[in-house]
Amino acid sequence: MNNYYDIIIKPVLSEKSYDGIAAKRYVFKVLKSATKTQIKAAVEHIFGVTVDKVNTVRVSGKVRRGGRKDEGTTASYKKAYVTLTADSKAIEFFESLA
């Protein structure tokens, strides 16, 4: 099993993720091979909260151009939507953003 800090790569800060902060729903970029139970354990360990459910999405890379004929794709990644229980405390990192 990977280290907890290897599973959670970084938070995703977008308009859609900001809307979920009030409902205690947070979005993280996670390791591609991480399972929902590993993500739940990592969030609970790192932030000291209680997780209710985890939803995951695989995001495919976008096509990018690098000139007239150069074409490639950006890297694909995995996102996790983490919902906390109602009686759990909020994650302090996101409190200033809401």
CB 78 within 8 A of CB 57: yes
* pLDDT, one tens digit for every residue, the chain (98 residues): 579 999 999 999 999 999 999 899 999 999 999 999 999 999 999 999 999 999 999 999 999 988 888 899 999 999 999 999 999 998 888 877 66
Number of helices (H), then strands (E), in the chain: 4, 6
Predicted confidence at residue 70, as pLDDT, reads: 87
What is the structure's pLDDT at 1?
59
Minimal CA–CA distance to 28: which of 70, 66, 92, 83?
83
> First vs last Cα of the chain: how many Å apart?
33
DSSP-derived 3-state class of residue 58: strand
Q: What is the pTM of this model?
A: 0.88
* The 3-state secondary structure of 8-48, one letter per residue: EEEECCCHHHHHHHCCCEEEEEECCCCCHHHHHHHHHHHHC
